[in-house]
A and B are shown apart, each in its own frame.
Chain A
Amino acid sequence: MNRNLYQPINGQITDIIDESPTIKTFVIKPENNFKFETGQFVELTLPGEGEAPFTPSSSPTVTEQMDITIMKTGRVTGLLHECQKGQKVGVRGPYGNGYPVDNFAGRDVYIVGGGVGLAPIRSLFLTLVDRIKDFKSVVCRYGAKTPDDFIYKNTLFGPWQKIDGVDIKLTVDKANGQTSASSVEPWKDNVGVVTTILDPNDVNIKNAVAVVCGPPIMMKFATMKLLEFGFTPKDIYLSMEKNMSCGFGKCGHCMIGKYYVCKDGPVFTYEQLKDYPNIWA
């Protein structure tokens, strides 16, 4: 028989990190080494319960284990949040195309992220930082609902901001009088949705690519803003969230027009998608 596409590799949850009240990062160790490109996704099975697509948030250079950051948002993710270390899982993939990092060389990389959308972006960020000299700059604009809702707080509020060639700005929808988790200081940064911290002078738009990942509504308005700044649709990369199920362009659930998000994406340029209906929902 041909290789069974539907057969997951057995694996195990070896660590669980609380990121925010609704988000946890699961460290998963598959039986065999597992290679992926940044931006590709995997199908994670909770045996007997269900399967869901996630983009690993760890660096692709690590192949013996991977981090998967998961927001509690549906049935399978709810059950995953109840799991303990040692839980057996299944992993299929990697699927899709990933970020075309080589095409970003010599350019400003303008990353706009929101909420749990930081998960795939973390993997991209680590990949870019690994070869930071290849890019003119890496400029990140992240938003979260409240300071508590930021994920990867320990690195985001500290070490990442100090990397040469990296410029990070953060914003929250509501400060709620809360403090940044890495300090006892009240929230001093911007309050407002992520588009309020985007500035056309952040990057040299003529020689920049933008990467957008976050909740659909944020992706929509961020893309509109970037177009307004003068980004061309082919320089805006979107990490699309659809109902990817099989992972190889057959089952149909994730279609946008002629594209299967699982096979042709999940990373698309806005140019590819702009003429199809309902892309943001």
Chain B
Amino acid sequence: MKMERVFTSKLKPFLDAVAGQMDLYVHKKSGQHYVFSAYDPSAATEVEFNNIRACTPVKEFLFPLCELAAVFPEPLEPEDIKPFAVFGLKDCDLRSIEVLDKVFLEDEFKDPFYVARREKMFIISSDCFEPGESCFCNILDGQPYAESGFDLNVSQVKDGYIIEAGSQKGKDFLEKHPELFTDTPEGALAERDKIRAETKKKLEQQNAELKFDTPIRDVMTATQDTDIYDEEAKTCVECQACTRVCPTCHCFYLYDTKQKDYFSKMKMWDSCMRMSYAQVAGGENPRRILGDRLKHRLMHKLAYFVDRYGINMCVGCGRCVDAEAGAIDIRNVLKKLNEQLKGKKEAKVAK
């Protein structure tokens, strides 16, 4: 049997085998959303196959909310990171890791804590089959199934699960456990492709109104002087939830603390929506106005990051839409910007 693509009718033995080698996290339903939860091999029931991404971001595993960054005068002994796996990640999650990799694995300045966790992470992704209301990955080069960026990918079909290896680590795992798998039954692959195409179509229908004739990056830069951001920001209550749940937001704040016999430097998530985020010591603040902060956040994601790293910093997961306390919906903002640009162009032609 070729171990690059295998089949299993039950998930539990497969996940038990993963959990036998490393810490395993799975998706668990909490209310109407999924959250990450430690896998419990003693549970008798089959683990749930999540149809959609979790509402919390996968960045938590690589870039924790708060961590110790340095201790002095005597330097820090590095924390021993144990290997861990996360099951059920979606294509948008994998692309958010790609974004974080660009930032934290940058050649000259590798973040040692991110590197340590990233090296120990085993990624098991799975296909989406029922996109959420806020999902719009198809607008931002995404799709409801992963084709790269995973160690293993799981696709659910009627009689079981197709598991594919996407890395040497993944292949090694499958080869180590031939007893768990069989050959992929005839027709299963065609069935998977049909499900994938149908899900993709659902997404496209759902986001049919979001159509851009101009690349989004150019829409953003061409409408920089707009007052749309100020208008949109009127309902923002500055709770910063959008930046917390965003899987690609990676701003952090360094602060110093005094312990009994040493000093430490801590690294904690920050938010560019925070009023004093960019303020300097003399009190000058380039983005005192909330609309300017919203503009910077979206420009960073869809223009500045693209200019710098060549990919979008928004993966279209819709988490910020779900977490929104006011009425800002990134899809509406994009739609309005696009309409304004079209209007500008038409006015130019009319002249």
Interface residues of B in 247-296 (CB under 8 A from A): 250-258, 263, 265, 267, 270, 272, 277-282, 284-288, 292, 295-296
Minimal beta-carbon separation of B144 from chain A (angstroms) = 30
Given A47-B258, A245-B253, A250-B103, is A258 in contact with B287 using a C-beta cutoff of 8 Å? no
Report if A45 contacts B (CB, 8 A): yes
Contact A252 B272 (CB under 8 A): yes
Given A7-B75, A10-B72, is A251 in contact with B292 using a C-beta cutoff of 8 Å? no
Given A7-B76, A243-B279, is A251 in contact with B270 using a C-beta cutoff of 8 Å? yes
Most buried by A among B72, B75, B257, B292: B72
Q: Which residues of A contact B280 (CB under 8 A)?
A: 241-243
Report if B106 contacts A (CB, 8 A): yes
Docked complex Cα distance between A51 and B257 (Å)? 11
Query: In the complex, what residue of chain A is closest to B280 when comparing beta carbons?
Result: A243
* Interface SS majority for chain B: mixed
Given A250-B109, A251-B251, A257-B304, is A281 in contact with B288 using a C-beta cutoff of 8 Å? yes
Contact B256 A45 (CB under 8 A): yes
Given A4-B75, A73-B281, A253-B278, is A246 in contact with B252 using a C-beta cutoff of 8 Å? yes
Q: Which residues of B contact A255 (CB under 8 A)?
A: 278, 296, 300, 304
Minimal beta-carbon separation of B33 from chain A (angstroms) = 27
Docked complex Cα distance between A245 and B276 (Å)? 13
Report if B34 contacts A (CB, 8 A): no
Q: Which residues of B contact A252 (CB under 8 A)?
A: 250-252, 270, 272, 300
Count of interface residues, chain B, beta-carbon cutoff 8 Å: 53
Q: Which residues of B contact A8 (CB under 8 A)?
A: 70, 72, 265
Contact pick for A5, options B103, B112, B250, B300, CB 8 Å: B112
Report if B4 contacts A (CB, 8 A): no
Could you mark each residue 236-271 of chain A with 1 if its beta carbon is under 8 Å from any beta carbon of chain B, else 0?
A: 000001110110111111111110000100000000
Contact A249 B255 (CB under 8 A): no
Contact pick for B78, options A1, A77, A251, A281, CB 8 Å: A1
Most buried by B among A73, A88, A277: A277
- Chain A interface residue bracket vs B: 35 or more
* Interface SS majority for chain A: loop
Docked complex Cα distance between A263 and B108 (Å)? 11
Docked complex Cα distance between A70 and B300 (Å)? 32
Report if A101 contacts B (CB, 8 A): no
Docked complex Cα distance between A11 and B108 (Å)? 24
> 4 smallest A-B Cβ distances: which pairs?
A74-B281, A48-B258, A6-B69, A252-B251
Chain B residues proximal to chain A, CB less than 8 Å: 69-70, 72-73, 75-76, 78, 103-104, 106, 108-112, 115-116, 224, 250-258, 263, 265, 267, 270, 272, 277-282, 284-288, 292, 295-296, 299-300, 303-305, 307-308
Q: A49-B258, A73-B282 are in contact. List 4 more A-B contacts (CB 8 A).
A: A1-B116, A6-B70, A248-B108, A252-B270
Chain A residues proximal to chain B, CB less than 8 Å: 1-8, 10, 45-52, 73-77, 88, 90, 215-216, 241-243, 245-246, 248-258, 263, 277-279, 281
What would 16 A/B residue contacts be, using CB atoms closer than 8 Å?
A: A5-B110, A6-B265, A6-B267, A10-B72, A46-B256, A48-B257, A50-B255, A51-B265, A88-B73, A248-B109, A250-B250, A250-B252, A251-B254, A251-B270, A253-B253, A263-B109
